Amino acid sequence: MINRRNFILKSAGTLAGLSLWQKPSLATTNAIEEALILEPLKSKDGLIKKTYRPPNFETPISYFNTTFTPNKHFFVRYHHAIIPEINSDNWQLSIGGDAINKPLSLTLKQLQTDFKSVEIAALCLCSGNRRSLFNPPVSGVQWGSGAMGNALWRGVRLKDVLAATGIKQSALEVSFNGADSGMLRTTPDFMKSLPLEKVLDENTLIAFEMNGEPLPHWNGFPARLIVPGWTATYWIKHLTEINIQSHPADNFWMKTAYRIPKEGFKSGQFISQETQLNMPITELVVNSLITNLVDGQTFSSNKAIEINGVAWDKGDGIQRVEISIDGGKTWELTTLQKNYGRFSWRQWRYNLKPTHTGEYRIMARATSISGITQPLEPVANPSGYHHNALQTISIQLI
C-alpha cells in the first residue's frame, strides 16, 4: 500500500508533470488536493483551504467513508468575509413580508420548544462542487470533490413556523437572509428565495443541530435553512430573516448569480425565476464518488481489493451503482449499503478480485430510481455547476 509520504511525493510529481494546457482528471485532482498542506480553521480539522477571506474550505474525500461527515471535517462555504460570532441567547428570527397576516419574532428557545422537532439525513452540496474539473476552465472557487457533506439535521419544519404567520393566497416566494455580510457597503447582501411549494415541503427545515450537536459556527450556528435535494446555495446559514412575498425576488443572488442555461438542464422547479434562456440552479444531479482509492495507487494482486464509495441524486433515491474495472467496457453491480433516506447519500461497496497484474481502470456510475444515469461528460455551463461526469481511477496490481 502507498504510504502518506510517498503519496504526497507522487501527487506533487503528478502535478509537476502536467503541461500548462493539460486539464487533470477527477482522480488526479483528488490526489493532488489530498496531498496539500491542510490549513487550520477554528473548530475545524484537516480541511483544504480554497480561500481565506471569505472562508472556503474543502473536505478531503477520505472523510467520506462514513455515513455522516463529522462536524469538524465538514466543508465551509461563504460568499462574505464578515461572519459574526452569535450569542444564541440574543439571537432572534424575524418573519415578515407583504404576503402574511401576522409578523413574528422567535428566539432560539421558542423555535426549539414551540414547534415539533424532526430529523432528516441530507446531503449538503455546493453548486460548484468539482468546478475545477471543467475543461475549458471556468471562473469561481476551484472546488475539487469535497465541497459537500452528509449530515443528520435536527430542527423544525419551515411550514410549521410559517403557518403561525397566516400566509396569504398572494404568496409566491419566500426569501431568506443570514447574519454574514460583505466587507464593502456595495457588496450585495447574500439573500436567496424559494418557491412557495418548496417552502411548504415537509422536508424543508430550520435546523439547529447537526449530527447530534449544536450547529458549528462555520456551518450556520445557531440556525440554518435545510433544503434537501437542492444545492447548498439555498441552505442559508446564521438565519436571521424570512420574508413571505407576493413577487419574485430580484436581488443579485437570484437574478444574476447561481443560474444555469435551460439547454442541457431540466427546468420547471422554480418557474417564477425562469427566463427564456436560463433559470436558477435547483435540484442536485445524480452522481457518485469512489472514496477509498486514489489515482496511481499500487496493490498486491494476491488478495481482493475493497472499493468503497457514495452516490446521490435529488431525492428520487439510488437504484444502483455499477463498477467497471476495464475503463467502461464491462460493468458489474456494487452492493448498496444501508438506506438512510432518499436525501442522504448512499454508500456502496465492491469487492475487486484481481485476475492479472498491471493497470486497472476503475469507473463508477450511479443510476437513480427515476432512471437517470451519470453521463460520460458534464453539461458545459459558464458557472461550472453540476459536474457529474463518471469518475475514473487507475490503480496498479503487482
Asked if residue 336 and residue 264 are part of one domain, the reply reads no
For residue range 308-325, list pLDDT tens digits in order.
999 999 999 999 999 999
Q: Does a structural domain hold residue 135?
A: yes
Q: Identify the weakest region by mean pLDDT among 3-7, 44-48, 57-61, 351-355.
A: 3-7
Residue 328 three-state SS: coil
For residue range 277-297, list pLDDT tens digits in order.
999 999 999 999 999 999 999
Query: Given this model, what pLDDT does residue 6 score?
Result: 38
Asked if residue 244 and residue 297 are part of one domain, the reply reads no
**Mean pLDDT calculated for residue range 6-10:** 35
**Mean pLDDT calculated for residue range 371-398:** 97
Residue 9 three-state SS: helix
Asked if residue 222 and residue 129 are part of one domain, the reply reads yes
Query: Given this model, what pLDDT does residue 42 score?
Result: 86
**Mean pLDDT calculated for residue range 27-31:** 52
Q: Does a structural domain hold residue 177?
A: yes
Other residues' Cβ atoms within 10 Å of the Cβ of residue 16: 7
Pairing of strands 173-178, 239-245: antiparallel
Asked if residue 233 and residue 371 are part of one domain, the reply reads no
Residue 226 CB-density burial (10 A; 0-12 exposed, 13-18 middle, 19+ buried):
buried
Asked if residue 200 and residue 144 are part of one domain, the reply reads yes
Residue 51 three-state SS: strand
38 pLDDT band (50/70/90 cuts)? low
Strand partners, 367: 320, 373
Asked if residue 120 and residue 246 are part of one domain, the reply reads yes
Query: How far apart are the C-alpha atoms of 48 and 60, rounded to whole Å?
Result: 7
**Mean pLDDT calculated for residue range 80-96:** 96
- Residue where a domain terminates, one of 237, 255, 280: 280
Q: Does residue 12 surpass a pLDDT of 60?
A: no
39 pLDDT band (50/70/90 cuts)? low
Higher-scoring residue by pLDDT: 53, 205 = 205
Q: Does a structural domain hold residue 39?
A: no
Q: What is the mean pLDDT of the chain?
A: 91
Q: Does residue 34 surpass a pLDDT of 60?
A: no
Look up the pTM and report it. 0.90
- Residue where a domain terminates, one of 220, 252, 280: 280
**Mean pLDDT calculated for residue range 2-17:** 36
Asked if residue 296 and residue 343 are part of one domain, the reply reads yes
Asked if residue 356 and residue 256 are part of one domain, the reply reads no
- The x, y and z cell numbers of residue 269, run together, are 422547479
Which is nearest to 234 in space by CA: 177, 182, 171? 177
Asked if residue 263 and residue 134 are part of one domain, the reply reads yes
Query: How far apart are the C-alpha atoms of 343 and 337, rounded to whole Å?
Result: 15
Q: Does a structural domain hold residue 1?
A: no
Q: How many domains does the chain have?
A: 2
- Residue where a domain terminates, one of 280, 302, 324: 280
Q: Does a structural domain hold residue 7?
A: no
Strands of 358-368's sheet in order across: 298-299, 391-397, 358-368, 318-324, 332-333
179 pLDDT band (50/70/90 cuts)? very high
9 pLDDT band (50/70/90 cuts)? very low
Q: Does a structural domain hold residue 116?
A: yes
Query: Given this model, what pLDDT does residue 218 score?
Result: 97
16 pLDDT band (50/70/90 cuts)? very low
21: left (phi over 0), alpha (psi -120 to 50) or beta: alpha
Contact 359, 334 (CB under 8 A): no
65 pLDDT band (50/70/90 cuts)? very high
For residue range 120-160, list pLDDT tens digits in order.
999 999 999 999 999 999 999 999 999 999 999 999 999 99
Asked if residue 243 and residue 120 are part of one domain, the reply reads yes
Q: Does residue 337 surpass a pLDDT of 90?
A: yes
**Mean pLDDT calculated for residue range 235-248:** 98
Q: Does a structural domain hold residue 185?
A: yes
Asked if residue 268 and residue 315 are part of one domain, the reply reads no
Residue 230: CATH number of its domain: 3.90.420.10
Listed in sequence order, the DSSP H helices in the chain are 4-17, 26-35, 108-113, 158-163, 196-199, 252-255
Query: Given this model, what pLDDT does residue 375 score?
Result: 97
What CA dihedral angle connects 78, 31, 122 and 50, to 10 degrees? Answer: 0
Query: Given this model, what pLDDT does residue 7 score?
Result: 34
**In which domain, by residue range, is 245 found?**
92-280
Q: What's the per-residue H, E or C state across 107-162?
A: EHHHHHHCCCEEEEEEEEECCCCCHHHCCCCCCCCCCCCCCEEEEEEEEEEHHHHH
Q: Does residue 245 surpass a pLDDT of 70?
A: yes
Q: Does a structural domain hold residue 86?
A: no
Q: Which residues have a Cβ under 8 Å from the Cβ of 87 and sit 6 or more positions away?
A: none
Asked if residue 229 and residue 302 are part of one domain, the reply reads no
Residue 352: CATH number of its domain: 2.60.40.650
Strands of 39-41's sheet in order across: 39-41, 44-51, 56-58
Contact 278, 254 (CB under 8 A): no
Whose cell is 474525500? That residue is 61
